[in-house]
């Protein structure tokens, strides 16, 4: 089975995801990124996040070679494993982002990735993770046959802390588990959803930590 098969059967391109990430970047994540910063997205997939970001330098990593054809001009793509980041300069990254990535890799590989990120990130640089919170999505978690690791908000925060990161924000319920729901993907509604204390179907967590 190839990564291309996965991107056909489970994770096909969807214009709603592009709209979702453009809105999330504008409302939530862009303010965390220095204007002259260097940003890395791990497990970038179709590049929806990194394409929407404004930064001096934008980098995207994924093992899927198809990544490269989906990146906007000016975004540098690296087809490599998240635990093989030797191509990045030490102390060069201001912001690292990962969405729905680490549940697809064994925990030892995540630990290796974190060790490399500590070298590649500047002191005080931020790592932000968005991914399923198993506490709230256990029933559908393995509907994705490539999920191999399980994390709750508490467990992932503890793992990050044990590997040299300081947690600065943890939102156990941040976004719905999937865009394949009755909730419409609309910029205004996304903004209202982010501001609301009531988040129906929110089963993904957000964790931010600094090096």
**How many helical (H) and strand (E) elements, i.e. helices and strands, does the chain have?**
7, 7
pLDDT of amino acid 1: 40
Report pLDDT digits (tens) over 73-91: 999 999 999 999 999 999 9
pLDDT of amino acid 178: 77
| Contacts made by residues 48-51, CB under 8 angstroms, sequence distance 24+ | 48/17, 48/18, 48/20, 48/21, 48/22, 49/21, 49/24, 49/25, 49/97, 49/99, 50/75, 50/97, 51/18, 51/21, 51/75
In the chain, the largest separation of any two C-alpha atoms, in whole Å, equals 44
Fold entry, domain 3-210: Rossmann fold (3.40.50)
Phi, psi (rounded to 5 degrees) for 62? -165, 150
End-to-end CA distance of the chain: 36
Q: Using the predicted structure, report yes or no on whether residue 198 has a pLDDT greater than 70.
A: yes
- Decide if 165 contacts 114 (C-beta within 8 A): yes
- Decide if 128 contacts 97 (C-beta within 8 A): yes
pLDDT of amino acid 200: 85
The ranges assigned to domains in the chain are 3-210
pLDDT of amino acid 117: 98
Confidence of residue 131 (pLDDT cuts 50, 70, 90): very high
> Which has more confidence, 145 or 4?
145
Collapsed DSSP state (helix, strand, coil) of residue 124: strand
């Amino acid at each position: 089975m190839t990564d291309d098969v996965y991107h056909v059967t489970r994770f096909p391109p969807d214009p709603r995801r592009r709209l979702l990430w453009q809105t999330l970047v504008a409302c939530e994540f862009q303010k965390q990124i220095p204007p002259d910063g260097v940003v890395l997205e791990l497990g970038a997939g179709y590049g929806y996040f990194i394409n929407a970001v404004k930064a001096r330098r934008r980098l995207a990593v994924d093992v899927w070679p198809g990544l490269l054809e989906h990146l906007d001009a000016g975004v540098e793509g690296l087809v490599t494993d998240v635990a093989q980041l030797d191509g990045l300069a030490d102390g060069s990254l201001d912001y690292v982002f990962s969405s729905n990535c680490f549940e697809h890799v064994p925990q030892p590989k995540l630990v290796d990735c974190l060790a490399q990120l500590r070298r590649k990130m500047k002191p005080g640089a931020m790592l932000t993770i968005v991914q399923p919170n198993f506490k709230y999505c256990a029933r559908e978690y393995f509907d994705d046959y490539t999920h191999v690791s399980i994390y709750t908000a508490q467990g992932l925060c503890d793992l990050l802390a044990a590997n040299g990161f300081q947690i600065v924000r943890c939102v156990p319920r941040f976004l719905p588990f999937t865009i394949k729901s009755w909730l419409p993907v609309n910029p205004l509604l996304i903004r209202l959803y982010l501001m609301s204390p009531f988040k129906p179907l929110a089963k993904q967590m957000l964790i931010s930590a600094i090096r």
